[in-house]
């Protein structure tokens, strides 16, 4: 593969071509569809290798010649067998994910038994990319067919910059959580550095799904996953303007214009252009048109609905049935309203040449997009652009459920399920004065030009580059590489004394839904016992928990404990002591406020400690909990301004504690004046642990679990990784002890 490596790889399920088997040979044709249209425009400006499935299965000896032929176009085919095509493509992608993401849950007729094929095909793609990608290459993964791919690539190649773009809606987390494989799919996508969506709604739904399903932390920038900040953004796709300009400036298309003009000179034309799909609302459009003819008998014979349907998913019985339903509805309507020389619905079921499509966009009086759900919808943009080139422009009726409605504020928005409303809107659009139509179209054309597909790709890739750079910086500077780990172990072995300081929740033990559930596992108890058995080694657990809990959970171990952020502590075999007395006169008032909040927010609860009060909202509704937490924080800051307290926001908890209590004080208390020859390692996972790091001597090691915060030496992605490192330290030191005995 030497010499064929790529620095920018675009991956989509389908290549922008289809290959047809014909007797003993095969033929390549370009294919239609939103993703293919948009990315074809991008290819003219940005050079990339495109990896995808050519759309059919072939014999092994044909595969090699197809591969060679496509290589000339910088396309790399992924061949899947017929079983994979059936289960991965038809079943899992088209009959489960597609309806789920478009809110058509009643169309899901399969269980997730085809999941293993989804995994298999995603792995096939991953293997090809791993072969082709240069070091630090950019990989841009497209759409719902390949949601595991970013994770599979990240596992093997941390150097890659990985972007993911979803072309369809991401549903509300209420819908998404019904999906049995909900965790795996999200984890797969979160392998990316940056994830883009068409609208802010889809981005918000995705973020909330990550919070609700995976319990990730997030802010407006993105979601934290495995210690990495995954960017989430809105990158609306645009049409391919250049290819339209080429046709519009070419005289060959004027032939179509003349033909259409003469054919429809006595009629007003309502245009529909859709891929055959139940999400596109073609049946609703037909119902509304029938209603319109019924209510406006004088217009029968004067208005034509010209419906273009591009064949799609023709192997699917469901789509065949849908097509037949549409055709029956058209026949019925035509049977009822046709007159000699006039047919109200004119229907074309095939792919038109772009010249003819453009001529129709230019001349239609009204274009109706009646999608029930649609990621973006490029037809609306294409119609607007072409109409804006005409002295007399058509009107656009646009479903409010198509993503493009977010970006065309001047369109007449419709609810396609309101059949009567849509029929009235049709009438208004047909009667709209020319000036008004032109004004609206020109304003919309302005927005469409700003979305142009090469610009969309450029902006997406720039954003990806930026986020990946930040992630790489964190990775290079804070990840515990093999070399750094060796140095750390060496230092631990060579030092005369070792002090290991560990926070408990989120560091040594995973955060649980209820704090009482986070009891130490046998693995943790054994690990602490092992570490404390090492010669010249002290182990300290420094937690925000109360002394009673720490005593019950860890009191039997020969280690030191510090409770309530350093307020109380005990060393091995000694009793608990307070660091000093604190003013707690504020506690009754705060208790009253927090009790009220606990009553008002179902699922939240109050934890009372000797020097602090905590309001936990981990189990409350996510949005409501966050909302009330913000309100509580703001009012407490104001009410407690002059009192000796500190308000700390943690992971789904607000803690109000006596001023002066801090984990940092405990660190000062335990460390000797002279620590020059000591190995000091401190691990934590939240803001209160930064207080410890700041009191450590210069050459001590701080390791933060999760996303980097403050001044930290290293970062590890999870408590499991923290335990793994502690085990390695124990192994290295116990081997050393055995060796010295020998």
Active-site positions read 503
Decide: helix, strand or coil at residue 673. coil
- Whether 692 and 542 have beta carbons less than 8 Å apart is answered as yes
Tell me which DSSP letter residue 509 carries: B
388 counts as binding ligand GDG under rule CB under 6 A = no
How far lies 508's CA from each of 332, 481, 617, 721, in Å? Answer: 69, 20, 22, 9
Lookup result for tokens 């230092």: 491
Which of 47, 15, 12 lies closest to 32, judged by CA?
Answer: 15
273 counts as binding ligand GDG under rule CB under 6 A = yes
How far lies 51's CA from each of 128, 139, 152, 501, 516, in Å? Answer: 8, 10, 16, 49, 50
Which C-beta is closer to ligand GDG: that of 231 or that of 236?
236
272 counts as binding ligand GDG under rule CB under 6 A = no
Contacts with ligand GDG, 236-255, as mask; x by CB under 6 A: -x------------------
Nearest distance in Å: CB 736, ligand GDG: 59
357 counts as binding ligand GDG under rule CB under 6 A = yes
379 counts as binding ligand GDG under rule CB under 6 A = yes
What is the C-alpha separation between 65 and 599, in angstroms, rounded? 70
358 counts as binding ligand GDG under rule CB under 6 A = no
Contacting range for ligand GDG; rule: CB under 6 A; set: 337-345, 351-359, 526-534, 721-729? 351-359
34-376-123 Cα angle (round to 5): 60
Nearest distance in Å: CB 38, ligand GDG: 6
- Whether 366 and 429 have beta carbons less than 8 Å apart is answered as yes
Nearest distance in Å: CB 350, ligand GDG: 7
370 counts as binding ligand GDG under rule CB under 6 A = no
- Whether 409 and 364 have beta carbons less than 8 Å apart is answered as no
Contacting range for ligand GDG; rule: CB under 6 A; set: 331-339, 373-381, 631-639, 654-662? 373-381
99 counts as binding ligand GDG under rule CB under 6 A = no
310 counts as binding ligand GDG under rule CB under 6 A = yes
375 counts as binding ligand GDG under rule CB under 6 A = yes
79-85-88 Cα angle (round to 5): 110
Lookup result for tokens 């030496």: 713
441 counts as binding ligand GDG under rule CB under 6 A = no
Which C-beta is closer to ligand GDG: that of 121 or that of 273?
273
What is the C-alpha separation between 180 and 183, in angstroms, rounded? 8
- Whether 541 and 562 have beta carbons less than 8 Å apart is answered as yes
354 counts as binding ligand GDG under rule CB under 6 A = yes
Which C-beta is closer to ligand GDG: that of 368 or that of 667?
368
Which C-beta is closer to ligand GDG: that of 35 or that of 489?
35
Lookup result for tokens 């515990």: 480
What is the C-alpha separation between 542 and 550, in angstroms, rounded? 10
451 counts as binding ligand GDG under rule CB under 6 A = no
100 counts as binding ligand GDG under rule CB under 6 A = no
**Count, residues near ligand GDG per rule CB under 6 A:** 24
From 161, 167, 323, 545, residue interacting with ligand GDG (rule: CB under 6 A): 167
Nearest distance in Å: CB 475, ligand GDG: 31
Which C-beta is closer to ligand GDG: that of 363 or that of 629?
363
What is the C-alpha separation between 155 and 153, in angstroms, rounded? 5
55 counts as binding ligand GDG under rule CB under 6 A = no
Kindly identify the residues of this chain, within the stretch 463-482, that bind ligand GDG according to CB under 6 A. Answer: none
378 counts as binding ligand GDG under rule CB under 6 A = yes
- DSSP per-residue string spanning 696-730: S-TT-EEEEESS--SS-SEEES-HHHHHHHHHHHH
How far lies 349's CA from each of 268, 274, 288, 312, in Å? Answer: 21, 10, 20, 10
The region that residue 710 occupies, defined by phi over 0 for left and psi between -120 and 50 for alpha, beta otherwise, is left
Contacting range for ligand GDG; rule: CB under 6 A; set: 250-258, 349-357, 422-430, 665-673? 349-357
373 counts as binding ligand GDG under rule CB under 6 A = no
729-734-736 Cα angle (round to 5): 100
What is the C-alpha separation between 670 and 540, in angstroms, rounded? 9
Contacting range for ligand GDG; rule: CB under 6 A; set: 352-360, 551-559, 665-673, 688-696? 352-360
What is the C-alpha separation between 649 and 630, in angstroms, rounded? 10
- Whether 85 and 57 have beta carbons less than 8 Å apart is answered as yes
- Whether 626 and 649 have beta carbons less than 8 Å apart is answered as no
User: Partners of 68 in the beta sheet?
Assistant: none
Q: In the complex, which residue's CB is closest to ligand GDG? A: 34
Nearest distance in Å: CB 189, ligand GDG: 16
Nearest distance in Å: CB 382, ligand GDG: 5
From 10, 19, 35, 613, residue interacting with ligand GDG (rule: CB under 6 A): 35
591-592-596 Cα angle (round to 5): 115
493 counts as binding ligand GDG under rule CB under 6 A = no
459 counts as binding ligand GDG under rule CB under 6 A = no
Which C-beta is closer to ligand GDG: that of 95 or that of 377?
377
Which C-beta is closer to ligand GDG: that of 168 or that of 729?
168
37 counts as binding ligand GDG under rule CB under 6 A = yes
Residue 554, both tokens: 């860890």
Nearest distance in Å: CB 195, ligand GDG: 14
Which C-beta is closer to ligand GDG: that of 168 or that of 286?
168
Residue-level length of the chain: 742
Residue 352: count other Cβ atoms within 10 Å of its Cβ: 16
From 308, 550, 620, 654, residue interacting with ligand GDG (rule: CB under 6 A): 308
From 9, 17, 38, 499, residue interacting with ligand GDG (rule: CB under 6 A): 38
- DSSP per-residue string spanning 348-371: EESPPPHHHHHHHHHH-SEEEE--
Decide: helix, strand or coil at residue 126. helix
501 counts as binding ligand GDG under rule CB under 6 A = no
Contacting range for ligand GDG; rule: CB under 6 A; set: 30-38, 172-180, 414-422, 502-510? 30-38
From 187, 205, 275, 407, residue interacting with ligand GDG (rule: CB under 6 A): 275
Which of 110, 94, 113 lies closest to 102, judged by CA?
Answer: 94
List residues near ligand GDG by CB under 6 A: 32-35, 37-38, 167-168, 237, 273, 275, 308, 310, 351-352, 354, 357, 374-379, 382
């Amino acid at each position: 593969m030497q010499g064929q490596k790529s620095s920018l790889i675009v991956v989509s399920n389908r290549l922008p071509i289809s290959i047809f088997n014909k007797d003993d040979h095969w033929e390549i044709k370009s294919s239609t569809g939103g993703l293919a249209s948009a990315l074809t425009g991008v290819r003219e400006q940005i050079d990339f290798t495109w990896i995808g499935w050519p759309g059919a299965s072939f014999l092994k000896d044909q595969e090699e010649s197809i591969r060679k032929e496509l290589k000339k176009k910088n396309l790399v085919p992924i061949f899947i067998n017929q079983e994979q095509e059936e289960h991965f493509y038809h079943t899992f992608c088209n009959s489960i994910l597609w309806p789920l993401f478009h809110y058509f849950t009643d169309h899901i007729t399969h269980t997730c038994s085809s999941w293993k094929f989804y995994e298999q095909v995603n792995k096939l793609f991953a293997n090809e990319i791993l072969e082709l990608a240069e070091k630090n290459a950019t990989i841009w993964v497209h759409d719902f067919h390949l949601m595991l791919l970013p994770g599979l690539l990240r596992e093997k190649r941390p150097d890659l910059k990985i972007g993911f773009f979803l072309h369809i809606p991401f549903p509300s987390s209420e819908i998404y959580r019904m999906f049995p494989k909900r965790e795996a799919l999200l984890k797969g996508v979160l392998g990316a550095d940056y994830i883009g969506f068409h609208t802010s709604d889809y981005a918000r739904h995705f973020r909330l799904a990550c919070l609700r399903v995976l319990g990730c932390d997030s802010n407006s920038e993105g979601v934290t996953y495995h210690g990495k900040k995954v960017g989430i953004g809105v990158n609306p796709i645009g049409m391919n303007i250049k290819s339209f300009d080429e046709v519009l400036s070419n005289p060959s298309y004027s032939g179509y214009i003349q033909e259409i003009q003469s054919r429809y000179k006595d009629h007003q034309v309502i245009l529909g252009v859709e891929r055959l799909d139940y999400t596109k609302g073609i049946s609703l459009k037909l119902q509304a048109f029938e209603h319109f003819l019924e209510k406006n008998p004088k217009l029968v014979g004067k208005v034509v609905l010209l419906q273009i349907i591009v064949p799609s998913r023709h192997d699917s019985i469901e789509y065949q049935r849908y097509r037949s339903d549409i055709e029956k509805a058209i026949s019925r309507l035509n049977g009822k309203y046709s007159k000699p020389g006039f047919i109200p619905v004119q229907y074309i079921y095939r792919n038109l040449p772009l010249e003819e499509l453009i001529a129709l966009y230019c001349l239609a009086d009204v274009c109706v997009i009646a999608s029930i759900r649609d990621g973006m919808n490029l037809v609306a943009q294409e119609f607007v652009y072409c109409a804006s080139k005409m002295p007399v422009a058509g009107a656009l009726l646009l479903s409010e459920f198509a993503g493009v409605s977010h970006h065309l504020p001047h369109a007449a928005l419709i609810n396609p399920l309101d059949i009567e409303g849509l029929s009235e809107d049709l009438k208004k659009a047909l009667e709209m004065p020319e000036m008004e139509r032109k004004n609206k179209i020109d304003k919309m054309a302005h927005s469409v030009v700003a979305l142009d597909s090469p610009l969309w790709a450029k902006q997406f890739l720039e954003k990806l580059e930026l986020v990946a750079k930040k992630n790489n910086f964190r990775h290079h500077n804070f990840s515990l590489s093999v070399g750094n780990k060796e140095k750390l172990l060496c230092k631990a072995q060579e030092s005369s004394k070792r002090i290991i300081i560990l926070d408990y929740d989120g560091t040594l033990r995973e955060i649980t839904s209820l704090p009482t559930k986070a009891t130490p596992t046998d693995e943790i108890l054994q690990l602490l016992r092992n570490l404390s058995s090492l010669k010249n080694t002290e182990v300290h657990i420094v937690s925000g928990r109360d002394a009673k809990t720490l005593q019950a959970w860890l009191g039997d171990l020969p280690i030191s404990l510090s409770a309530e952020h350093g307020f109380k502590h005990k060393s091995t075999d000694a009793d608990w002591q307070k660091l000093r007395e604190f003013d707690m006169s504020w506690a009754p008032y705060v208790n009253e406020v927090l009790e009220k909040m606990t009553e008002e927010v179902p699922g939240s609860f109050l934890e009372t400690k000797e020097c602090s009060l905590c309001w936990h909202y981990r189990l409350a509704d996510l949005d409501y909990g966050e909302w009330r937490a913000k309100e509580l924080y703001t009012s407490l800051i104001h009410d407690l301004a002059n009192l000796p307290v500190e308000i700390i926001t943690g992971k789904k908890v607000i803690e109000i504690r006596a001023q002066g209590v801090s984990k940092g004080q405990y660190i000062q208390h335990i460390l000797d004046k002279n620590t020059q020859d000591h190995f000091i390692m401190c691990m934590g996972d939240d803001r209160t642990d930064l207080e410890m790091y700041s009191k450590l001597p210069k050459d001590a090691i701080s390791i933060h679990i999760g996303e980097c915060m403050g001044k930290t030496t290293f970062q590890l992605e999870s408590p499991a990784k923290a335990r793994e490192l502690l085990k390695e330290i124990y192994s290295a030191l116990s081997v050393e002890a055995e060796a010295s005995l020998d």
